[in-house]
Amino acid sequence: MTLGDADKLRIGYAAFNHGGIEAILESLDPKIHVRERETMPDRSTYHGRAGVQRLFSTMIEAFDDLQYEVEEIIDRGNYSVVVLRQLVRGRGSGITMGARTVHVWEMHDGRPIALTIFGTREQALASLDDRLHQR
């Protein structure tokens, strides 16, 4: 049985939750790029596996733990919109907080080649619809 993109992404999030970014790096395309959400003050684009590792290392510096709970995956051909509950535990406080985030993955031959992060499902779907209509 061949796994679809949604199944691969679910497995990837579970692996991340158990082993951090190191647990999924090899499953990413070597030339992957990640764009942070537009609302980030110093929004950046990260390139390659080293860039992805740098992004998540920065996030982990502030938190003892970072977990993602998959709430919904919307399949749009080569794209998957993943609605997530992001849970973090503060390094100093030990307090766990949650917020919704949305990842839009572009897939090629079953591998993630791009990730764009959004604050809401609506923003992600609107951006993806714009991208698909430009083609």
Lowest mean pLDDT among 1-5, 27-31, 99-103: 1-5
At position 62, the amino acid (one-letter code) is A
Q: CA–CA separation, 79 vs 128, rounded Å?
A: 8
Q: Is the pTM of this model over 0.95?
A: no
65-106 pLDDT per residue, tens: 899 999 999 999 999 999 999 999 888 888 889 999 999 999
> Could you say which DSSP state residue 61 is in?
H
For residue 57, name the pLDDT band (cuts at 50, 70, 90).
confident
Helix (H, G, I), strand (E, B) or coil at 41: coil
Better-scored residue on pLDDT, 135 or 6: 6
pLDDT at 135 over 70: no
**pLDDT score of 1:** 58
Counts for the chain of helices (H) and strands (E), in that order: 3, 6
Residue 62: name the closest of 31, 92, 83, 28 by CA: 92
The domain spans of the chain are 5-133
**pLDDT score of 47:** 96
- Residue 110, phi then psi, degrees to nearest 5: 80, 10
pLDDT at 133 over 90: no
- Average pLDDT of the chain is 91
Taking domain 5-133, whether its CATH number is 3.10.450.50 is answered by yes
